[in-house]
Amino acid sequence: MSDQDKPQAASTTPENASSAAETKVEATAATPQNSAANPQASDSIQESSQELSPEERVRALEAEAAAAQDRFMRAAADVQNMRRRAERDRREAEAYGGRRLALDLLPVFDNLDAALQLATDELREKEPGFFNGVELTLKELLNAFSKHKISQMDAAIGDKFDPNQHEAMYEAPTPGAEAGSVIQVMQSGFMIGDRLLRPAKVGVARAVEGDTSPTNGSGASTNANAS
């Protein structure tokens, strides 16, 4: 058995050796191709092998530190601006968050107020309970408005027309009234906080044609003693 096995081992050894030699030749031939196919890798290796001088390294580190500080300062400024905007939005939401609801409730106030304004003494005597209920409802509505910093503006006849608070519905020549003064309050105005919620709708006096004498709002003119 051992004598027969020896020739077989001797015959297989040259084949294995030739296969190994061919594999080595192929690997050796493939190495230049890989290096030629990836020139960037070889360039980076060459660049990394070249060391910077101490002065150049210091300058590079200083430039990198300056760039990092600039990015940090910009990010900090952005965060600060976001905090300010968030705080401003929070304050505005607290102060003016009920604006839309108030605008929807103002017609309710207008109807209740009109019912009281148009009620005659005779009607009030006939239906005292009804009108007392309307007055209480109107009072409670104004109390609810005040909790949300909504207040009724004081507009009265004789006031000077203010475009920031009044909306002129018409102009009419009114003897005895100063030109540009309020002669009728048609609808009350409201404020929410320090902002105008709704202007008061008013009628405005216009100068009477042919009357050149100035008035003082009470109907008296400067030449009243001439008579």
Task: Give the mean pLDDT of the chain.
Answer: 77
pLDDT at res. 210? 63
Distances (CA, A) of 76 to 70, 90, 137, 149, 167: 10, 21, 53, 36, 47
- Please give the helix or strand (H or E) that residue 185 lies within, else none: strand 182-187
86 and 64 inside one domain? yes
Domain of residue 10: give its range. Answer: 2-37
pLDDT at res. 216? 42
Establish if 225 belongs to a structural domain. no
In total, the chain counts a number of residues equal to: 227
Establish if 43 belongs to a structural domain. no
Q: Which residue has the higher pLDDT, 40 or 215?
A: 40
86 and 102 inside one domain? no
Establish if 159 belongs to a structural domain. yes
Q: Which residue has the higher pLDDT, 192 or 91?
A: 192
Using pLDDT thresholds of 50, 70 and 90, give the confidence band for residue 196: very high
% of the chain residues with pLDDT over 90: 47
158 and 189 inside one domain? yes
Q: Which residue has the higher pLDDT, 30 or 175?
A: 175
Establish if 60 belongs to a structural domain. yes
Q: Which residue has the higher pLDDT, 12 or 68?
A: 68
Extended beta strands in 106-180, E state: 150-152, 166-173
* CA gap 146, 123 in Å, rounded: 30
pLDDT at res. 34? 45
157 and 118 inside one domain? no
Give the pLDDT mean for 200-205: 95
| Structure-block tokens of residue 144 | 């609810």
Closest C-alpha to 204, from 185, 176, 218: 185
* Count of domains for the chain: 4
pLDDT at res. 161? 94
163-166: long-range contacts at Cβ-Cβ below 8 A with a sequence spacing of 24 or more?
164/196, 165/189, 165/196, 165/199, 165/200, 166/199, 166/200, 166/201, 166/202, 166/204
Establish if 46 belongs to a structural domain. no
Model confidence pLDDT, tens digit, residues 132-186: 999 999 999 999 999 888 999 988 899 999 999 999 999 999 888 899 999 999 9
Establish if 226 belongs to a structural domain. no
Establish if 58 belongs to a structural domain. yes
* CA gap 150, 98 in Å, rounded: 9
Establish if 128 belongs to a structural domain. yes
Model confidence pLDDT, tens digit, residues 67-111: 999 999 999 999 999 999 988 888 877 778 788 889 999 999 999
Strand ordering across the sheet containing 195-198: 150-152, 190-192, 195-198
